[in-house]
Amino acid sequence: MNIRPYQDADRLAVIALWEDTGLAVPQNDPGKDIDRKMEVDPDLFLVGESDGEVVATVMAGYEGHRGWINYLAVRSSHQRNGYGRLLMEAAEHLLGKKGCPKINLQVRNTNTEAIKFYSAIGYGDDEVIGLGKRLVHD
């Protein structure tokens, strides 16, 4: 898998991947999420290609205190090949270069496979409750 920054030509393939993997949910418009990301640290939005096709993504962020991971996705036919781990390593490297001391991420509590994956690559339960408030109505 080749890891590279997201490009505008990837848009439809990325959205399709997020929809196929269940990351696109009704309250989030994936197109708007991409547009927002391209305004803030677009270098932290990575795609993984295999045979010229987008098969994986990760969208990282850093606001000066903590790094965040969003939209880590690997096409089901390419899972269990280490692609998710490779994308996370690439995101961690980029965040580290920006001086990021810690990375946070949120996983739906029903997504047990994702929780197992993140645990296997060194992420632990911080024993906090994630709270949110929607400011923008998509």
What is the residue-averaged pLDDT of the chain? 94
Is 49:67 a contact under the CB 8 Å cutoff? no
Across the range 51-55, mean pLDDT stands at 96
129 within domain boundaries = no
Across the range 11-35, mean pLDDT stands at 92
69 within domain boundaries = yes
> What is the structure's pLDDT at 132?
87
pLDDT at residue 72 tops 90: yes
Query: In angstroms, what CA-CA distances link 1 with 40, 72, 82, 92?
Result: 26, 15, 10, 17
pLDDT digits (tens, 9 = 90+) for 73-95: 999 999 999 999 999 999 999 99
pLDDT at residue 138 tops 60: no
Across the range 1-22, mean pLDDT stands at 96
Indicate the DSSP class of residue 61. E
Nearest alpha-carbon partner for 138 in 15, 29, 23, 4: 29
Q: Domain range for residue 112?
A: 2-120
The enclosing domain of 51 has a CATH number of: 3.40.630.30
128 within domain boundaries = no
Count of domains for the chain = 1
63 within domain boundaries = yes
43 within domain boundaries = yes
Compute and round to an integer the Cα radius of gyration of the chain: 14
For residues 74 and 25, which has the higher predicted lDDT (pLDDT)? 74
Long-range contacts, stretch 128-135, CB < 8 angstroms, 24+ apart: 130/106, 134/27
Across the range 5-27, mean pLDDT stands at 93
pLDDT digits (tens, 9 = 90+) for 105-119: 999 888 899 999 999
112 within domain boundaries = yes
72 within domain boundaries = yes
126 within domain boundaries = no
pLDDT at residue 137 tops 70: no
